[in-house]
Amino acid sequence: MSLMEQLNRKALRLGVPLSVHLDVTYRCNERCEHCYLEHDDHGEMTTSEIGSLLGQLEQSGVFFLTVSGGEPLVRRDCFEILEVARSLGFNVKLKTNAVLVKEQEARKLRSLGVEQIQISVYSDRPEVHDAITKVPGSLLRTVAAIRFLKAQGLKVTVANVLMKSNFQDSSGVRALAAELGAQFALDPTITPMLNGDRSPLRLRITAAEVRSAFRDSNLVGDVDAFCAPPPPVDDEMHEGFPCSAGHTACYISPYGDVYPCVQFPLPCGNVRKETFLNIWKNSSQLREVRSIRGKDLPTCSSCAHLGTCTRCPGLAYMEGNMRGPSWADCEKSFLRTGIFTAGMLARGVVPSANVHGLVQIDQRQTL
């Protein structure tokens, strides 16, 4: 077992929120077509409130802190927040579009000891990337920023969100990341907006494209292993829980709202009204999330994919039931292995021979 796995198990045993994702703003200088956020400011936490919150997170045992947004660097106090976070010993990861990062900002991030910067790049072609961000010149500025960051020796991950409009460009983004000396991460998940608006789902790549991506060794590594049938379901899978959300991780919005995860908009409390630790330990919503085991999922507990499915309880919650299947993950499990999921069978979906047809049926049912 790796040291990281040991650390996660220890945090789980102790009930410690090892990882927190903190959005310091929802404002943004880009308008990405797939974004799940509204960008108006409804009363962000002040510098002082965030400083106090960071102190509480440190006292609660939080080690991994992701600072994100919106675009975190549109806050004039972002570096002040990062400095406080680093002085408290957090391992800080910054998620940014990097449009505002020049040489001076890169140097600051280096001096602060920020561990990693994750930057979204949608295409290696400006006309595609800029059409998604709706900001002309944004790819050029982002790439220039990555060069500044790499010149400082910082670890940069290029995150490539796959959509219909940029699906053909993922290999180009991978090559660009390699040329820049950055890591590459692929993300095929498009989620509904946090306010429940499901319109971003129209941008999802088709089932045929997902299937194609799952069989590309450049994207998934060992295709045979990745697409292998799931192992038999055992007791450990029935006793297991789906992910770290609410167990060793949570999300905090710019307004102080605490949720199990950034993709799980179940309100659990607000740090402006009570302490973070009180919410973490006593929120009835978090307690409920923590209580759910594989065997408690009415549909998924009987699914052959139970042990290997990437089922997201947040997406399931947004579909109406945190104990239900997440349809997007049902699709992925099926497209990966060719084996129907219990969720598909329960919904009476009869896939056509044309895999693309399956997604059309799903979109009509879920949108």
In the complex with another protein, which residue's Cβ is closer, 115 or 216? 115
Q: Among candidates 247, 248, 246, which has minimal Cα distance to 258?
A: 246
Shortest Å distance, C-beta 148 to another protein: 17
In the complex with another protein, which residue's Cβ is closer, 62 or 158? 62
In the complex with another protein, which residue's Cβ is closer, 63 or 241? 63
Q: Give the chain's end-to-end CA distance (angstroms, integer).
A: 42
Shortest Å distance, C-beta 89 to another protein: 4
In the complex with another protein, which residue's Cβ is closer, 13 or 364? 13
274 in helix, strand or coil?
coil
In the complex with another protein, which residue's Cβ is closer, 82 or 163? 82
What secondary structure, in 3-state letters, does 194-229 show?
A: CCCCCHHHHHCCCHHHHHHHHCCHHHHCCHHHHCCC
In the complex with another protein, which residue's Cβ is closer, 83 or 288? 83
Amino acid making up residue 209: E
Buried b (16+ CB within 10 A) or exposed e, 139-155: bebbbebbebbbeeebe
Shortest Å distance, C-beta 222 to another protein: 24
Shortest Å distance, C-beta 64 to another protein: 8
Q: Using CB atoms within 10 A of its CB, is residue 121 exposed (0-12), middle (13-18) or buried (19+)?
A: buried
Shortest Å distance, C-beta 115 to another protein: 4
In the complex with another protein, which residue's Cβ is closer, 38 or 80? 80
Amino acid making up residue 253: S
Shortest Å distance, C-beta 9 to another protein: 12
Shortest Å distance, C-beta 97 to another protein: 22
Give contact residues for another protein (rule: CB under 8 A).
3-4, 6-7, 10-11, 14, 16, 58, 61-63, 86-92, 113-116, 153, 155
149 in helix, strand or coil?
helix
Q: CA of 2: how far to CAs of 8, 9, 167, 239, 247, in Å? A: 10, 11, 34, 22, 19
Q: Among candidates 148, 154, 153, 158, which has minimal Cα distance to 102?
A: 148
